[in-house]
């Protein structure tokens, strides 16, 4: 039996509702695939900030360092400014643990009616590879002359050769396992230093992968193509901010924020990686028990894959796809009336049923 130590940060809002469903499904999967999990919960959130003045304790990162992975819900809630909550917890984890890849699959599943016409299940299957440690998200800059008429803010972007090269290489390696196509998101017509540099590095790295087809679009038209022609894309590599925006657009194109999983990966495995949905804490629906748990559950499948539990990861993905294909139960964001827990329980039951079906088939073969 394999045993994994997982740090769990439910965080805020619907993070606290979808994480229990993720754990429910992973526990069920563990029983089928001989995996056990030790879940250690860290109650770090905006509530914690309001009580203690910190999103996590001073040694919070040290507390997380030795885990096999981190399973996170969402951070941020009205009452604490977003830049305080996110820069006090989520972003420090991504950076300290060199989780420089933010991998965000965008897939149209059976049973989902997308908001765009002419696309069915299987027609949209792309992966956003978002740079996750630098770029437009930087701490370089400042404010001057606060609260005077000369008040100003400066924010510098940081694009390093190492940072660009490693995310681009990751994208090319991933494309080689998929459909051999990488698209780069740029804006080198308007952003005059960093984006031409990004393009230069993309061209240089592409040379090492001559079998992979490449193209690039400025982010404005790329966004339009995401809506009109999402089937054009395989792997899309993007800077931190562009990748962030494309992620929500991608989620919308395939039906809901509640269907978009993500992995913050430290590919060298020196540090734990972190698995969390693309969506946030959804204050507008928090507390109602109606959030779609699929993104959280699917992020759990990505965690299993990262841990090397490939069959178990496939089982979770297969189960959530089957339940969605049956169209019942489904949460309101995808046109149903069911609750978060109903969908979580249905997916967990599907994992168990599929596995016992497989075992029964195997036994029959033996007879």
Query: Using an 8 Å Cβ cutoff, are 14 and 337 in contact?
Result: no
CB of 88 to ligand IPM, least distance (A): 11
Give the whole-angstrom CA distance, residue 42 versus residue 287: 20
Q: Does 251 bind ligand IPM (CB under 6 A)?
A: no
Binding-site partner at residue 164 among Mn ion, ligand NAD, ligand IPM, none, CB < 5 to 8 Å by type: none
Q: How far apart are CA 240 and CA 305, in angstroms?
A: 24
- Positions 226 through 245 that interact with ligand IPM (CB under 6 A): 244
Write out the binding residues for Mn ion, residues 212-271 only, by CB under 5 A: 244
Angle CA 221–227–232, to nearest 5:
80
- Cβ-contact 313, 109 below 8 angstroms: no
How far apart CA 95 and CA 101 sit, in angstroms, is 11
Alpha-carbon torsion, ordered 196, 161, 230, 233, to 10 deg: 110
**Residue 279 interacts with which of ligand NAD, Mn ion, ligand IPM, none, CB < 5 to 8 Å by class:** ligand NAD
3-state secondary structure of 159: coil
Cis peptide before 329 (omega within 30 of 0): yes
Q: Which does 195 bind (CB under 5 to 8 A by kind): Mn ion, ligand NAD, ligand IPM, none?
A: none
Q: Is 240 exposed, middle or buried, given 0-12, 13-18 or 19+ CB atoms closer than 10 A? A: buried
Binding partner of residue 295 among Mn ion, ligand NAD, ligand IPM, none, CB cut-off 5 to 8 Å per kind? ligand NAD
Half-sphere exposure of 64 (CA within 13 A, CB side): 29
Q: By CB under 6 A, is residue 64 in contact with ligand IPM?
A: no
Cα distances from 160 to residues 157, 252, 277, in angstroms, run: 10, 31, 27
For residue 128, the partner it binds in ligand NAD, Mn ion, ligand IPM, none, with Cβ less than 5 to 8 A by kind, is none
Is the separation of the CB atoms in 294 and 277 below 8 Å?
no
- Look up residue 240 and give its two tokens: 């931190």
| Shortest Å distance, C-beta 158 to ligand IPM | 15
Least separation, in Å, of the C-beta of 247 and Mn ion?
6
> Does residue 103 bind ligand IPM (CB under 6 A)?
no
- Name the minimum Å distance from CB 244 to Mn ion: 4
Should residue 342 be labelled a site residue for Mn ion when binding is judged by CB under 5 A? no
Alpha helix locations (H) across 86-229?
91-96, 161-177, 194-206, 219-228
- 291 interface partner picked from ligand IPM, Mn ion, ligand NAD, none, CB below 5 to 8 A per type: ligand NAD
Out of 28, 185, 278, 295, name the contact with ligand IPM by CB under 6 A. Answer: 278
307 binds, among ligand IPM, ligand NAD, Mn ion, none (CB under 5 to 8 A by kind): none
Q: Give the residue with the Cβ less far from ligand IPM, 280 or 293.
A: 280
- Give how many residues touch Mn ion by CB under 5 A: 1
DSSP 8-state code for residue 336: -
Return the number of the residue (125 or 244) whose C-beta is nearest Mn ion: 244
Beta carbon nearer to ligand NAD, 186 or 247: 247
| The one among 19, 23, 64, 86 contacting ligand IPM by CB under 6 A | 86
Q: Which residues contribute to the site for ligand NAD (CB under 6 A)?
A: 14, 74-77, 82, 86, 90, 257-258, 276, 279-285, 291-292, 295, 333
Residue from 241, 167, 160 nearest 197 by CA: 160
DSSP letter for 200, please.
Answer: H
Among 98, 186, 194, 247, binds ligand IPM (CB under 6 A): 247
Helices (H) and strands (E) in the chain, counts: 12, 12
Name the site residues for ligand IPM (rule: CB under 6 A): 76, 86, 244, 247, 278, 280
């Amino acid at each position: 039996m394999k045993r994994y130590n997982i740090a769990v940060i439910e965080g805020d809002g619907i993070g606290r509702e979808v994480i229990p469903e993720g754990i429910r499904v992973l526990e069920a999967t563990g029983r089928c695939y001989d995996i056990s999990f030790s879940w250690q919960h860290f109650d770090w959130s905006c509530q914690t900030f309001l009580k203690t003045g910190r999103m996590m304790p001073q040694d919070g990162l040290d507390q997380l360092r030795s885990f096999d992975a981190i399973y996170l819900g969402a951070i941020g809630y009205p009452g604490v400014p977003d830049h305080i909550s996110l820069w006090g917890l989520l972003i420090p984890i991504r950076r300290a643990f060199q989780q420089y890849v933010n991998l965000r699959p965008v897939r149209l599943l059976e049973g989902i009616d997308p908001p765009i016409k002419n696309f069915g299940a299987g027609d949209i299957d792309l992966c956003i590879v978002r740079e996750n440690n630098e770029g437009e998200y930087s701490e370089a800059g400042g404010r001057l002359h606060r609260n005077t008429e000369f008040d100003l803010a400066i924010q510098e972007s940081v694009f390093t050769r190492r940072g660009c090269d490693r995310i681009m290489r990751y994208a090319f390696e991933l494309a080689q396992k998929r459909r051999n196509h990488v698209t780069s998101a740029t804006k080198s017509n308007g952003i005059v230093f960093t984006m031409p540099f990004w393009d230069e590095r993309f061209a240089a790295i592409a040379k090492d992968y001559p079998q992979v087809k490449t193209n690039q679009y400025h982010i404005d038209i790329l966004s339009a193509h995401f809506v009109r022609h999402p089937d054009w894309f395989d792997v899309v590599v993007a800077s931190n901010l562009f990748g962030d925006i494309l992620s929500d657009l991608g989620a919308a194109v395939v039906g809901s924020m509640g269907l978009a999983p993500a992995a913050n990966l430290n590919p060298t495995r020196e540090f734990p990686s972190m698995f969390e949905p693309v969506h946030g804490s959804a204050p507008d629906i928090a507390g109602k028990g109606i959030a779609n748990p699929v993104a959280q559950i699917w992020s759990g499948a990505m965690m299993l894959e990262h841990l090397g539990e490939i069959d178990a990861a496939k089982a979770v993905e297969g189960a959530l796809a089957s339940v969605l294909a049956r169209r019942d139960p489904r949460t309101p964001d995808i046109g149903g009336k069911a609750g978060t827990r109903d969908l979580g329980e249905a997916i967990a039951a599907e994992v168990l049923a599929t596995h016992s079906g497989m075992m029964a088939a195997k036994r029959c073969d033996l007879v």
